[in-house]
Amino acid sequence: MNRTILSLIFLAILSGITGIYQQQMQAINIPEQHKQTSNSSSETKPVSSPLFRIIKNGKYGFIDQTGKIVIEPQFDLAWNFVDGRSQIKIDDKYGYINEMGKKVIPPQFRLAYAFSNGLALVVIDYEYGYIDTNGKIAIKPQFSQALAFNQGLAAVQIDEKYGYINSSGKIVIKPQFDGAKHFYEGLSAVQIGDQWGYINSNGKLVVQPQFDETLRFSEGLAAVQVGDKWGYIDKTGTMAIEPQFEQAWEFTEGLAVVQIGDKWGYIASNGQIAIKPRFDRTTSFSQGIAAVKVDDKYGYINTNGKIVIPPQFDLALSFTSGLALVYVGGKAGYINKVGQFVWYPTN
């Protein structure tokens, strides 16, 4: 089982029955599994403050940054807003609401994913296609597997091979790969046989397939697996940081999570240790803070490695728009950057 699946399973288990882990992040790797433009002028103007998903008495709703309920918990499932839309589930069907809580696309799909580049991936009659922000079919469901659009392209499966389409549904990179991922920073990982390399947006191989597993490019570098170790390459395919880590994640805010032995820490883009591996688990940095696990509890550190919120949570996720989702006793709540609850844990 490769590293991508393990990471997804780990996160899914931690987020567990609440379904808090964002659905759009499940679209990392097609072979294993699965933002939008402005709203139409006829809609009520959405709230300007970011919204945060909550669960109360088994139903999902949304709060603002102060902890005030903006959309009453009423959905069987809901996902975070991406560019003004949230996927919601009611009676085994998926649809979309806007930031006022209005059902702008009524629940009707077997599966539905986040909007990106003005289109959302949906499943109709076991086939994948795309809808626009009004719910109209933009690209007919016809694919057995597909990913969301990113940087104007989406990977799709046709006759057991993967290629890429543009937002009009036209095939622009012919199906030829055994696996395919999203484009980031102009490059996408593709699989030929059992090895991974990278193509550019014209479909040209710029890094020959040679790696056992790959992650996306971020801040000019991509983590790659060679044998049982992870390192980093640049966009020419040159090994910038030699494979030496048990695990390695993408760079964010100048730092990347790595595992050395059974401990986790952070490296800088030159490969030097920035925060010594001493944690049982970590998250990537977001808004200058990262969650870390120490003695079975999660807290937060800053980019100097100093603990700024003491370990006290059963699980802690990254900060987004000033708040972070944390779990205590199987219940989910939100804290601010000084560790105060703005939404006390509920289930």
Q: Express each pLDDT in 322-339 by its tens digit.
A: 999 999 999 999 999 999
Q: Express each pLDDT in 66-122 by its tens digit.
A: 999 999 999 999 999 997 999 999 999 999 999 999 999 999 999 999 999 999 999
* Statement: residue 30 has pLDDT above 90: no
SS3 assignment for the chain: CCHHHHHHHHHHHHHHHHCCCCHHHHCCCCCCCCCCCCCCCCCCCCCCCCCEEEEECCEEEEECCCCCEEEEEEECEECCCECCEEEEEECCEEEEECCCCCEEEEEEECEEEEEECCEEEEEECCEEEEECCCCCEEEEEEECCECCCECCEEEEEECCEEEEECCCCCEEEEEEECEEEEEECCEEEEEECCEEEEEECCCCEEEEEEECEECCCECCEEEEEECCEEEEECCCCCEEEEEEECEEEEEECCEEEEEECCEEEEEECCCCEEEEEEECEECCCECCEEEEEECCEEEEEECCCCEEEEEEECEEEEEECCEEEEEECCEEEEECCCCCEEEEEEC
Q: Express each pLDDT in 262-318 by its tens digit.
A: 999 999 999 999 999 999 999 999 999 999 999 999 999 999 999 999 999 999 999
pLDDT band at 49 (very low <50, low <70, confident <90, very high): confident
pLDDT band at 48 (very low <50, low <70, confident <90, very high): low
Q: Check residue 83 and give its pLDDT.
A: 79
Q: Check residue 24 and give its pLDDT.
A: 34
Average pLDDT over residues 217-230: 98
Q: Check residue 204 and give its pLDDT.
A: 98
Query: Mean pLDDT in the chain?
Result: 89
* Statement: residue 5 has pLDDT above 70: no
Q: Check residue 198 and give its pLDDT.
A: 99
Q: Check residue 10 and give its pLDDT.
A: 40
